[in-house]
Chain A
Amino acid sequence: MAATAIICLGNRYVADDDVGCRVFDCLIGSAIPQGIEIFDGGLCGLDLLRLVEGRRRVVFVDALAGVADAGDIVVLNREQVAGYAGRYGHGAGLPYLLRLLPQVCAAPLPEIALVGAEGAMDEPAVRALAERSMEVAIHGAS
């Protein structure tokens, strides 16, 4: 298991939710530094727990809605994403996982970041998001 994971989230068949999948396609077709694994996390929320446990750093990539201005790329930490968690339901996603993570993670809590994008993204914007995600994976969010 690599120490760092980039987990791309979304549904490539739903236009408003496919940016994570497009970043996955971009990253998986490029050179990946040693020690980093790339995952297509699809629609999973709570089920991503096993991909998170045991790592030093985990970077999620996902679409945002109402968090930033259109076109912005934003990096949020675990607490910020967890703040969006409601109670569990079929629609529960990353915020629910990150809210519960300190209580359910079977290993030391990894450093967590969400690299997100607001609004429609053209191909150059997707590449920029992929590059930012890789930067955070290599160097951390700060």
Chain B
Amino acid sequence: MTKRIIRDIPLNRVEGDLEIRVELENNRVVDAWSSGTMYRGFENILVGRGALDGLVITPRVCGICSTTHLMAAAKALDHIAGVDLPDNAVRLRNVTLMAEHCQSDVRQSVLMFLPDFTAAIYAAHPLYAEAVKRYAPLAGERCIDVVRQTKTLLEIVAILGGQWPHSSFMVPGGVSYVPPLAELNQCRHILKQFRSWYEKSVLGCSLERWQAVQSAADLDVWLNESAAQRDSDVGFFLRFAREAGLHALGQGHGHFLSYGSLELPGDSAVVGSGAGKQLVGSGFAAKDGQAQPFDQAQVAEHVAASWYADYEGGKHPFEGETVPHATGADGKKYSWCKAPRYAGLPAETGPLAERIVAGDPLFCDLLRRDGANLVIRQLARLTRPATLLDAMETWLAEMAARPDQSYYEPVASLQDGRGFGLIEAARGALGHWVEIRGGKIARYQIVTPTAWNGSPRDHAGVRGPWEEALIGTPIADIDNPVEAGHVVRSFDPCLVCSVHVVGADRTPLRC
């Protein structure tokens, strides 16, 4: 007999300010609603402030992606100023952003995603005991190792930025600090140590060997090639996920968006993917995986299901409004997240989207074979540092070899204009759209990766990406919905990290 129930499911171990309601039919999700439960209002805080204030305020939007918001804010002001950055400024900005990505990718995978493999529902899994030994929260040997080994990465940000945390060293026209050779060499040493550990423990092989994995068949060969690869974090993740059948979960809409990121300096040995001028290419790909050129004019935010004053359809961020309106009276609104859409469509963003848009042979082949799912989404995140570390090393070496080149191009006072700063954050596409009038911020709209991935329904009633990805998910125990947690966590949701009050409720620590 068909049994339908609607339940709020306890996903607060994914994110404290995220609530998921699902409709289940015979213990399988047939509908889902994702609700961001905290209004933050940073965009409204910024209105009326000085033109440069976003450089100081937006790094405190997020405790993990601080450099990322600084980069987006600085790029928006670069755009308004119409300035071309000196090559060394591009290199320095890029390396700091990439350091933040590498730390986030490894920590999210090992400290947030993989501990779900120690849930009681996997007690009969043949790798369960090993999963507990490796990834038990607060105790697993891999968790402890990851904390030890990733702690130095952000020293690169502190050294190159001359300030940490919540640095503001990026300014319109470049950066405010010129690192001496000794500090660049210190960064190279930190990076070398991290790379060595990442290759040994996370990949179980050299970057070059991993980069030679170009297809699903190659991945099978790689997995069976050596004990080091099978026992690495990547190898263990793949073996556990296959045995558990996780490839069948978390499909989603199959639309992928990357804003592109990491501009290439004019004089550099680093080459980007495709014909673009960025290391991480931009584009939008639908189910066929064929990327179309990205056009920021196609971005719009809907509020039909969001607790903001209504307007028809979607608004481009340059026309965007953030007017809280939470009556709860009409029953349609259920989230403080707006609903970003690209050309009217929902789109997932993040490391997998970056790989698909770039035409990465491995991930495009996996997408063709299995469709989008939580395993390839998480695999893309765990292996993204393998796409960044070579370029980081090269750019640090190029800065060291060019000590006399500038890190700053003078910029006149910003009085009027509008611009955007679009980059790929650790969790995907991040945009700051800024309008300056009379030297003050007249409008500031931030569209985060979690707004893209965790959006509620849009004006047409279409679900957001992880709402859609939850459809079809079997839930064995509604009070401990590990399967739904896998799906949502594979997007790496980020909703809570702007508030860190020490609290007594043992749930994520905010007020």
Interface residues of A (CB under 8 A from B): 9-14, 16-17, 40-47, 49-50, 62-67, 81, 84-96, 99-100, 103-104, 106, 114, 116
A116 to B501, CA, bound (A): 10
Give the 4 A-B CB pairs with smallest separation, nearest first: A43-B63, A91-B508, A91-B496, A66-B504
Tell whether A44 pairs with B508 under 8 Å between CB atoms, given A13-B57, A87-B13: no
Of chain B, the residue at the smallest CB distance from A15 is: B511
Contact check, B147 vs A91: say whether CB atoms are below 8 A apart. Answer: no
| Shortest Cβ distance from A106 into B: residue | B148
How many angstroms between the C-alpha atoms of A103 and B500 in the bound complex?
22
Interface of B is mostly: loop
- A29 to chain B minimum Cβ distance, whole angstroms, is 18
The reply to whether A65 and B504 form a contact with Cβ atoms under 8 Å apart is: yes
- Across the interface, do B16 and A91 meet the contact criterion of CB distance under 8 Å? yes
CB distance from B294 to the nearest CB of A (A): 27
Q: Which of B42, B45, B62, B504 contacts A43 (CB 8 A)?
A: B62
- Which of A13, A46, A47, A65 contacts B503, CB < 8 Å? A65
Residue count of chain B within 8 Å CB distance of chain A: 49
CB 8 Å contact bits of B474-511 with A (1 = contact, 0 = none): 00000000000000000001111111111111111111
Q: What's the Cα separation between A84 and B111 when bound, in Å?
A: 17
B147, A11: Cβ atoms closer than 8 Å: no
Contact A94 B502 (CB under 8 A): yes
Instruction: Tell whether, in the assembled complex, residue A45 and residue B60 are in contact, meaning their CB atoms are under 8 Å apart.
Output: no
Q: Which of A41, A44, A90, A96 has the most CB of B within 10 A?
A: A90
| Residue ID in chain A nearest B498 by CB atoms | A11
Sample 16 A-B pairs with CB under 8 A, ordered by A number: A13-B57, A14-B40, A41-B165, A42-B63, A43-B500, A50-B151, A63-B501, A84-B509, A87-B137, A91-B15, A91-B499, A91-B510, A93-B500, A94-B500, A99-B138, A104-B144
Q: Is the CB of B165 within 8 A of A91?
A: no
Distance between Cα atoms of A67 and B509 in the complex (Å): 12
In the complex, are the beta carbons of A84 and B501 less than 8 A apart? Answer: no
Residues of B within 8 A of A40 (CB): 165-166
Per the bound structure, the CA–CA distance linking A89 and B11 in Å amounts to 12
Alpha-carbon distance A142/B74, docked complex (angstroms): 46
Partner of B63, one of A12, A49, A62, A90: A90
Q: Are A90 and B155 in contact (CB under 8 A)?
A: no
In the bound complex, residues from chain B placing their C-beta under 8 Å from that of A11 are 60, 498-500
Q: Which residue of A lies closest to B497 (CB)?
A: A90
* B interface residues with partner A (beta carbon < 8 Å): 13-17, 40, 42, 45, 57, 60, 62-64, 66, 107, 111-112, 115, 137-138, 143-144, 147-148, 151-152, 154-155, 165-166, 493-511
Q: Hey, which chain A residues are within 8 Å of B508, CB to CB?
A: 86, 89-92
- CA of A85 to CA of B500, assembled, Å: 12
Closest-CB distance, A91 to chain B (whole angstroms): 3
Asked if A84 and B511 make an inter-chain contact with CB atoms under 8 angstroms apart, the answer reads no
CB distance from B140 to the nearest CB of A (A): 11
* Bound form: Cα–Cα A28–B238 in Å: 50
Which B residues are in CB contact (< 8 Å) with A90?
15, 63-64, 493-497, 508
Contact of A93 among B152, B493, B502, B506 (CB under 8 A): B502
Evaluate whether A9 and B500 lie within 8 angstroms (CB atoms) in the complex, with A42-B63, A85-B138 already known: yes
| A81 CA / B14 CA spacing, docked (Å) | 22
Q: In the bound complex, do residue B501 and residue A65 qualify as a contact, i.e. CB atoms below 8 Å apart? A: yes
Nearest B residue (CB) for A41: B165
Contacts of A96 in B (CB 8 A): 138
Q: Is the CB of B144 within 8 A of A88?
A: no
Closest chain B residue, CB of each to CB of A93 = B500
Instruction: Look across to chain B and name the residue whose beta carbon is closest to the beta carbon of A101.
Output: B147
* Complex: chain A residue closest to B103, CB-CB: A47
Q: Which of B60, B107, B506 has the most CB of A within 10 A?
A: B60
| 14 further interface pairs, Cβ-Cβ under 8 Å (given A50-B154, A86-B13, A86-B506) | A13-B42, A13-B45, A16-B499, A16-B511, A47-B154, A50-B152, A64-B502, A65-B511, A85-B138, A86-B507, A87-B13, A89-B16, A91-B499, A104-B144
Chain A residues lying within 8 Å of B15, measured Cβ to Cβ, are 89-91
B498 touching A14, Cβ below 8 Å? yes
